[in-house]
Chains A and B, each alone.
Chain A
Amino acid sequence: MTQQLSTAQLAATALLVLLAAGLSLLLELRIARPLLVAAARTVVQLLLVGMVLQSLFAQEASWLTLLVMTLMLGAAAHETQSRQQRRFAGAWSIALAGLPVAMASILVTSVALATLQPARLLSPLVAIPLFGIVLGNAMSAASVTLNTFTTTLLRERASVEARLALGATRHVALGAVRRDAARNGMIPIVNQMAAAGVITLPGMMTGQILAGMAPVDAAKYQILVLFLLAGASALAVAATTYAAAWRATDARHRLRLDRLRGA
């Protein structure tokens, strides 16, 4: 069933990226360099991951699966943190970026594995791709949420402080900021589910159909995956807003922007 792509076929699609870069140079959009770097990273990273997965699948070792997952979590935490315009000072920066993502991905992947019941629970063939897609979405949702939270908080500082000064609790005073941040974090997955099949064919389903799976079966898998992603996004977003609000204030209900670097 599965058909293999030739290097020539891949190279043909790479022409599109080169074309986009050329267009950027022509129009002075200044995205040629980041675009080419990102494209090169895609090639190197995905091929490397493909090779790693192939050797992992050959091993079938649970401890290796867990090790790879841990490395992925570390990379996700680093990536979430590095996408922030404003960061919390010290080790909190990485903790606030990483822990909500880790919690959401581990929880949702566990639910997924319990539901799918693969022959072996920690078989890398199922666990790692599943964990990867869940982690990626939780990471995007959390990083958008955290970024919106800090930038909105700095912009709305006078409003939050005015509420605190009149005796509002930090929960009430930060309510609007938390809701804004959560909404922004959830928009991508909500849009993705709303548009799925009508405006776009999700990437995973497209890939499976191209690789030869029956469309209805591919659709069922896609629905399952979208639900997992929605759950992971919501958990990551909720945990991020909670943790960020907790760290941006203190037990005496004071706004602690001094804990934000460069604020």
Chain B
Amino acid sequence: MLQTLSLQRLHVGPIDLEAAAGTCVAIEGRSGSGKSVLLRMIADLDPHAGDAALDGELCSRMPAPRWRQRVSYVAAATGWWHDTVAPHFADLEGLRVLLPRVGLPAEAAGWEVARLSTGERQRIALLRALTPACRVLLLDEPTSGLDAESTAQVEGLLHGELARGTIIVMVTHDPGQAGRLASQRYLLADGRLHENML
């Protein structure tokens, strides 16, 4: 179970959230309402007040890299540190299996990052976060650049992750997506989470 304990930064918070294993929390809200700030706080990527816990283990009590191997943030703007796709992955076999599941050919492993489209980057960056250690995915608009078919494929992949017990906290502008994936839906406004049961 993932818990946030009065997370607070800038105009956001205090935020208390709970998500059980294998469930998805969707967070909607207007641009600038602090949705990304919240995800980054859970990943401990910015200085903040409060804490987070995974199965009772506090983030502040373990080295930050170990926390982020378990609780991984996938930003809306992707970042790359090698010229081609494959070196970003530890498990190349796994990559070749996963690529077709998000509508990309297995050869995409050899593609140059500079020539990828926004949608291709977005999907590959998501696959990159699916490591054996990862228990919580913090997804910042994971399908914002995708067409309906690719979006459905990514959602299928995420359903598979949920079935394996992964917890997902996602920011989305797509109410339909929130409805399809999430068991808890919130609206972030004025720095607070409001239950969103549309």
Contact = CB atoms under 8 A, between A and B. Distances in A.
A163 B125 CA distance: 11
Contacts of B77: 158
B68 A164 contact: yes
Given A162-B81, A250-B47, A254-B45, A168 B65 contact: yes
A205 to B, nearest CB: 42
Contact of B72 (A160, A165, A169): A165
Nearest to B71: A167
Contacts of B129: 166
B68 A254 contact: no
A169 to B, nearest CB: 5
- Give the interface size bracket for A toward B: 20 to 34
B150 to A, nearest CB: 21
Interface string B84-113: 000000000000000000000000000000
Nearest to A169: B65
Interface residues of B, number: 27
A183 interface: no
B153 interface: no
A167 B75 contact: no
Given A166-B72, A254-B47, A161 B79 contact: yes
B78 interface: yes
B44 A176 contact: no
Nearest to B69: A167
Which of B63, B65, B75 has most chain A Cβ within 10 Å?
Answer: B65
B171 interface: no
A253 interface: yes
B133 A167 contact: yes
Which of B45, B69, B77 has most chain A Cβ within 10 Å?
Answer: B45
A159 interface: yes
